[in-house]
Amino acid sequence: MRPTIAFLHLGQTHDEFPDVVLALARLGLESELISLDDGDRVDWCRYAAVNIRECRGYHLDEQFLTRLEQLHRRIAPVDFVNPMAVARGALDKSAYLPALEAAGVHLVPTYWPSGGLGGGIAALFDDTGWNDIVVKPAVSSKSWQTFRLTRTADGVDIRSPGPPAPAYRSTLAQCQTLLNETFAERSLCVQRFLPEIESRGETSFVFLGGALSHAVRKTVAPGGWLAHEFYGGSNAPCVVQGTGEIDA
């Protein structure tokens, strides 16, 4: 009997999940989707490991981490993949980004406004010195409730993820109202928009077992500003050369 991996989900999965199933099958592993809601009704001893990557929409479940913790304790010693330490550490940007920066990792310039947006949008631009910024929840996925704000002579241009992602002009007061409503009960993260994203995209490095496995070049769709396939972008493998340069 081939070992089986249980993939937890919250009602939806990533588009590439069928490819994951096929890849695991070629390695002699079975796959089975299980709703996190069914955690109390499953015989977890049947599984070689439990994978949590397919829990899309976790940012909308305020009890998600608590539910994972409870399940992790219940099914021990069955392996949790990723481990709970990784799940806890990677959930909230306001926790892991400052920790990475303190460890010497170079980040996209990031600002954490004290008291949220209470100081006003104009103060946010003035305090950072950036005229093109991205505002996002500290806990989110798939660019949920993410906005790009560009200061203009008479207001703010606002872009949602798109595509297309046309800018619509807003006064400072209108922009403030929008963000106050969006982030009324959520902590937020403010980052300087890097224009290189639009022309060069971004590169994701995937490490498995502490070693570099592969790298993926992510590009932006025409008319967009986010390197994400959900918004029309594309992903392609790339090769990391010994010099540190990257070839698509």
Q: Looking at the domain that runs over 4-89, which CATH code has it been given?
A: 3.40.50.20
Alpha carbon distance 205, 212 (integer Å):
7
Banded pLDDT at 247 (limits 50, 70, 90): low
What confidence tens digit (pLDDT) does each residue in 169-212 have?
999 999 999 998 888 888 899 999 999 999 999 999 988 888 88
Region 43-55 average pLDDT: 94
The reported pLDDT for the residue numbered 161 is: 86
pTM of the model: 0.86
What confidence tens digit (pLDDT) does each residue in 135-150 have?
999 999 888 999 999 9
Is a pLDDT exceeding 60 seen at residue 112? Answer: yes
What ranges do the domains of the chain cover? 4-89, 110-193, 197-247
Length of the chain: 248
